[in-house]
Structure 1
Amino acid sequence: MTSFLNKGLQHLLHLYNDACGTVALHEARIKQLESTVADQGAIAEAKSRHYESLMKKVTQEAELKLATAEMDHEQAMVSFREGIKASAIVSLLQARIKMAYEAKETGLVCPAWPVDSWVAKLKELGGKAVPLPVEVGESSKSAEVVDQVGDKKDAGADAGEDAGQDAGKPEKVGEDAAV
Structure 2
Amino acid sequence: YHIVHEEYQAGYKLGKYATRLGHKDFLYLNVFEADVAVGQLRKNGVLAALKEEKESSVEMVEVSFSFEKAYEQALKLLPTLKATYIFCATDNIALAVLKAAHKLGLEVPTAFSLSGFGGYQITSIVTPSITTVKYAYKELGQVAVQNLIKLLDGEEVPEEVQLTNELITNESTQQY
The verdict on a shared fold, with TM-score over 0.5 as the criterion, is: no
Task: Please report the TM-score for the alignment, with normalisation by the length of structure 2.
Answer: 0.24
Which of the pair is proportionally richer in strand?
2
Task: Answer 1 or 2: higher relative contact order, Cα 8 Å, separation at least 6.
Answer: 2
Which of the pair is proportionally richer in helix?
1
**Structure whose CA Rg is larger:** 1
Task: Please report the TM-score for the alignment, with normalisation by the length of structure 1.
Answer: 0.24
